[in-house]
Amino acid sequence: MKKITLFVLISLYLITLSAALFAQPVLVSTMTPFPVGTTDSIYGATASVAPGSGGAGVTWNLSGLTPVAEGTITVVNPASTPYFSTFPTATFCAEVNPSSGGSAYIYERLSSSKWEQLANNYSGVGTGTDYTPDPETAVEFPMSYLNSVIDTFQKVGGSANTVTITYDGYGTLITPFGTYTNVVRIYKYWGPGDYDYNWYVTSPNLDIVLSFDMQSNAYTFIRTASTTAIKEVSAKETAQIYPNPLTNSGTLKISAPNGLYNAFLTVADATGRIVKYVPAYEAETTISRDQLCPGLYFYSVENSGLKIASGKLVIQ
């Protein structure tokens, strides 16, 4: 009798533990995106690993993907951007700075009932996607596992369209950069062969960390520094810029015993805007001031998806 009782207690404990480990996150309007000033790295990857199935308590293991650095993304105040007058109701904005140069903006609006996209990769009339006629919904609030909604949206120059948005799974997401817990996956379906999966972290903020596009058969990573995906950096990995202050050109020196993998330098101005992006393929990389004005800047160096150095850079 004691053995049976003990077995029952252990079983109940394991069931309770399992439920605690895989508690369902409910998306609510009080969840806020990452704050102004947050800067993340953008990586792309060909879909050599399938996105997997939805479900409760799922583990999506996408650690086998090979990411390639594509630039950075920074959360900015919508009112500080050059196109705010076009999207005056935006409550959230991100500046995208591709490795190839230039910049574009993502304008979004959060309310008590939904999170909508107003524009994507916008840099002026005729660029990116402008949803001024009717914004596209990303998620509705509240949204629980297996909830599904149909949203009507319209782009400038296009006709009205619909998308089915489904909360199709929650659990743990493993990427080449680390492991995210309390993740929600949103499935967006536009029609046969045209769908996306977006993985959202839910704590301490609500935002996308990984997206899969069926049409391009590719993933986009946003390696969010505010999540548990950040690992401890070995003290053996260091980086420095010299001379500092820098007049015309200088050198970025990286010490990485395990080698360089998608290493790069970003330089931001006093407002947090990324003004320079330099990939680093060797232990020493020449950097030039280009058109940077004299003043104080802030730099960050990453290797293998991890920040290994940061500091101030003075341009004379």
- State the Cα–Cα distance between residues 64 and 15, nearest whole angstrom: 31
> Residue 48 and residue 8: Cα distance in Å, rounded?
44
Residue 160 pLDDT more than 90? yes
- Predicted pLDDT at 21: 46
Q: 201-213 b/e with 16+ CB inside 10 Å = b?
A: bbeebbbbbbbbb
**At which residue do the structure tokens 């190839």 appear?**
100
- The pTM is what? 0.68
According to the model, what pLDDT value does residue 304 have? 66
CATH number of 238-315: 2.60.40.3080
Closest listed residue to residue 256, CA positions, set 282, 231, 286 = 282
Tens-place pLDDT, residues 253-309: 998 876 776 688 888 888 777 788 888 888 899 999 988 999 999 888 887 667 788
The answer for residues whose C-beta is within 8 angstroms of residue 27's C-beta and 6 or more apart is: 139, 141, 142, 143, 144, 167, 184, 200, 202, 206
User: Per-domain residue ranges for the chain?
Assistant: 39-223, 238-315
The two three-digit tokens of residue 280, written as one number: 């680093």
pLDDT tens digits, residue range 20-50? 345 789 999 888 888 888 888 899 999 999 9
Q: Is the pLDDT of residue 10 over 90?
A: no
* Residues in CB range of 106: below 8 A, 6 or more apart: 93, 94, 96, 117, 119, 120, 121, 122
